[in-house]
Amino acid sequence: MSPDAGTLLSKINSPADLRKLSEEQLPQVCEEIRNFIIDVVSVNPGHLSSSLGTVELTVAIHYVFETPSDKLIWDVGHQAYAHKILTGRKDRFYTLRKFDGISGFPKIKESEYDAFGTGHSSTSISAAFGMAVASSLLKNNGSQHIAVIGDGSMTGGMAMEALNNAGVSNANLLVILNDNNIAIDKNVGAIKEYLLGIATSRSYNRFKDLVWKILGGNKRYGANSRSIVKQIGNAVKSTILKKSNLFEAFKFRYFGPTDGHDVIHLVKILRDLKRIPGPKILHTITVKGKGLTNAEKEPTTYHSPGIFDKNTGEIINTECTEKLSPKFQNVFGKTIIELAGMNKRIVGITPAMATGCSLNMMMQLMPDRAFDVGIAEQHAVTFAAGLAAQGMIPFCNIYSTFMQRALDQVIHDVALQKLHVVFCLDRGGLVGEDGATHHGTFDLAYMRMIPDMVIAAPMNELELRNMMYTAQQDRTGPFSIRYPRGRGFLEEWKLPFDAIEVGKAEQIRKGDDVAILTIGITGNFAVEAAIHLEKEGITSAVFNMRFLKPLDEVILHEIFGKYKKIVTVEDGTIVGGFGSAVLEFKNQHNYSARIQILGIPDLFAAQGSPEELYRLYGYDSEGIVRTVQKFMSL
């Protein structure tokens, strides 16, 4: 059930209700929203600190602009909880990220206020610009188009491409830069340094405040404010900053920096900006985790903290105390350090997911050889290609879903040149509550089409370790290893390295009635299913194929020679993936066996816990049992 909203919030079911309040009431609304977010997210985990940081911005935007006819786009969308609460989803907010519940990200299908679906970063300016151009072509000249983007997401190439394109237009576009000086981990790179420079420049801020006072106090400037601001901007440029403003170089009118938690001031500024046509950017300074002391102190931990005590902010460990298998990401993080100790040519790369993929461990121990390149997957891959071209062995760790961004770089910059880059695709398969934008369901299919790509998928932590060991041995060409989110299956995984022959499968269970072929962690589901089936008198052979590419054709000939019924199981789309590869093999060699393919159907997978979703799509152990039973009865 939804907790109590405060006295003002309980009466707000849409931005129209919000607009009935006086400006003086807005700080209280903000406080009530913040408490409501903390109440719900403390028991129903989600992205906390980013949403706590945007409460005032959200209230001010919906107060000033005519949403939904004015278009509001949240970059990444993980900071949009206040937006959801204000736009008719307060009563369902307790279902956030659950199966059949509301999404953790904006979604066009979910609400008319979600002008554009997000999840992956740095798309908001392009989309808002597109909408602005559409409005102009459709003669909707009064409508406003607002993109809210964080300083982290501003480091993504797409954001720069959009600024470059939009800046020379006269589109009615407002970019609000939500600058909290952090991404998930600390933000990196030159843009971050630049923003920090502006935010902390005392003389610059004093001058900007003056500008706002003059403009705010003189409504008579009206339509002329554009040129006034421009003149002032130029003066700032030449006299105070003594260097050009990055956004003005992109031909955006730049305003700020301003306090992103002063809701009344924000309302005033936004009202002024509403009257200024053309592309403009408002730079706001916010505190990630605002209002919850622990989250303010440790924004990375509280980016997505899990369950916590809403009064103290303390994180509550919900995992059972029995000995736990390690997380796959930590096996990666520890193993790369060991390998880098043995092989001086190894380096690690992450595009802004250092903690998420555990490369942070190597960054601490070997800062010269582990790189966070910012939210920049395409750059990460080509940067890896450059390193590999000079004989280094980069381990480029990118979440499966974010690697979609860099497909051409994998094809054109790495594979085509047969460069030895090791791609570690974390979060391969269903990731759970983040839902469709974040599931890693396509990588097996998109990697499979690339010539010379090795595709390995470990069944457990030990295999991940040994595949990483294998991948760094002398070879040419790209090598990808995909593994899932969360914990593995073994207690002991840190055994001495043992190379795995590339393209060699392993039979892990004997049986005569049916052959179950698996890739990655689905091997564990199949073993469980086989044990169950055996009790019913059906014996199944289970083959952990380990490599989707190259496929172990020797073992496939044996399997097709012996079994008439074959089931394939994969934690990914069945379109063009592992099952497809086995079907292609069967067709090429004219085998007659019947094949059942289990995996994710041709759709964007739902949100929910991975277990719920494996069950939904029918490839958990029970699903495999059901499939085999039906298959045997044919």
Q: Give the span between the Cα atoms of 7 and 30, in whole angstroms.
A: 12
- Residues in CB range of 131: below 8 A, 6 or more apart: 71, 73, 115, 116, 145
Provide the mask over 320-359, with x wherever binding to ligand TPP is found by CB under 6 A and - wherever it is not: --------------------------------x-------
- Whose tokens are 């073993």? That residue is 527
Q: Is 285 in the site for ligand TPP (CB under 6 A)?
A: no
Task: Dump strand ranges (E) for 167-324.
Answer: 173-179, 253-259, 280-285
Distance of CA 588 to the CA centre of its chain: 38
* Candidate list 79, 358, 460, 568; residue touching ligand TPP; CB under 6 A: 79
Nearest-approach distance from CB 224 to ligand TPP, in angstroms: 34
Residue 448 among the catalytic residues: no
Residue 405 among the catalytic residues: yes
Q: Is 427 in the site for ligand TPP (CB under 6 A)?
A: no
Do residues 153 and 121 make contact, with C-beta atoms less than 8 angstroms apart? yes
Q: Is 289 in the site for ligand TPP (CB under 6 A)?
A: no
Q: Is 37 in the site for ligand TPP (CB under 6 A)?
A: no
* Candidate list 15, 45, 104, 150; residue touching ligand TPP; CB under 6 A: 150
Tokens of 380: 């990460």
* Candidate list 103, 124, 180, 304; residue touching ligand TPP; CB under 6 A: 180
Task: Dump strand ranges (E) for 293-334.
Answer: none
Strands 71-74 and 145-150: parallel
Total residues at interface with ligand TPP (CB under 6 A) = 22
Q: Which of 89, 253, 280, 288 is catalytic?
A: 288
Of 89 and 288, which has the nearer Cβ to ligand TPP?
288
Q: Is 55 in the site for ligand TPP (CB under 6 A)?
A: no
Residue 161 among the catalytic residues: no
Nearest-approach distance from CB 438 to ligand TPP, in angstroms: 8
Pick the stretch among 27-35, 76-84, 260-268, 622-630 that binds ligand TPP (CB under 6 A).
76-84
Dihedral in degrees, nearest 10, Cα atoms 488, 490, 491, 492 = -110
Q: Give the span between the Cα atoms of 77 and 183, in whole angstroms.
A: 13
Q: Is 151 in the site for ligand TPP (CB under 6 A)?
A: yes
| Cα–Cα nearest to 396, from 417, 365, 419 | 419
- Whose tokens are 């043992």? That residue is 498
* Candidate list 71, 253, 283, 288; residue touching ligand TPP; CB under 6 A: 288
Kindly list the distances between the CA atom of residue 589 and the CA atoms of 206, 286, 513, 560, in Å, as whole numbers in the listed order. 76, 62, 22, 9
In the complex, residue closest to ligand TPP by CB? 150
Of 377 and 620, which has the nearer Cβ to ligand TPP?
377
Pick the stretch among 178-186, 243-251, 498-506, 539-547 that binds ligand TPP (CB under 6 A).
178-186
Residues 295-314 that bind ligand TPP (CB under 6 A): none
- Residues in CB range of 356: below 8 A, 6 or more apart: 184, 329, 399, 426
Residues 234-253 that bind ligand TPP (CB under 6 A): none
Pick the stretch among 101-109, 174-182, 250-258, 505-513 that binds ligand TPP (CB under 6 A).
174-182
Do residues 429 and 484 make contact, with C-beta atoms less than 8 angstroms apart? yes
Q: Give the span between the Cα atoms of 552 and 548, in whole angstroms.
A: 8
- Residues in CB range of 368: below 8 A, 6 or more apart: none
Kindly list the distances between the CA atom of residue 162 and the CA atoms of 2, 198, 328, 477, in Å, as whole numbers in the listed order. 39, 22, 36, 33
Pick the stretch among 149-157, 243-251, 389-397, 451-459 that binds ligand TPP (CB under 6 A).
149-157
Do residues 161 and 126 make contact, with C-beta atoms less than 8 angstroms apart? yes
SS3 label, residue 422? strand
| Cα–Cα nearest to 2, from 13, 51, 318, 288 | 13
Pick the stretch among 4-12, 75-83, 260-268, 480-488 that binds ligand TPP (CB under 6 A).
75-83
Q: Is 126 in the site for ligand TPP (CB under 6 A)?
A: no
What is the full DSSP assignment across 469-534? HHHTSS--S-EEEE--SSB-S-S---PPP----TT--EEEE--SSEEEEE-TTHHHHHHHHHHHHH
Do residues 90 and 300 make contact, with C-beta atoms less than 8 angstroms apart? no
Nearest-approach distance from CB 185 to ligand TPP, in angstroms: 8
Q: Is 121 in the site for ligand TPP (CB under 6 A)?
A: yes
Q: Which of 377, 433, 461, 463 is catalytic?
A: 377
Q: Is 82 in the site for ligand TPP (CB under 6 A)?
A: no
Q: Is 396 in the site for ligand TPP (CB under 6 A)?
A: no
* Candidate list 375, 431, 530, 566; residue touching ligand TPP; CB under 6 A: 375
Q: Is 152 in the site for ligand TPP (CB under 6 A)?
A: yes
Nearest-approach distance from CB 78 to ligand TPP, in angstroms: 5
Q: Count CA atoms within 13 Å of residue 86 on its CB side.
A: 30
Distance of CA 523 to the CA centre of its chain: 27
Q: Which of 90, 97, 280, 405 is catalytic?
A: 405
* Candidate list 37, 38, 64, 76; residue touching ligand TPP; CB under 6 A: 76
Residues 397-416 that bind ligand TPP (CB under 6 A): 402, 405
Instruction: Give me the residues that bind ligand TPP (CB under 6 A), please.
Output: 50, 53, 76, 78-79, 120-121, 150-153, 178, 180, 182-184, 288, 352, 375, 377, 402, 405
Residues with a catalytic annotation lie at 288, 377, 405
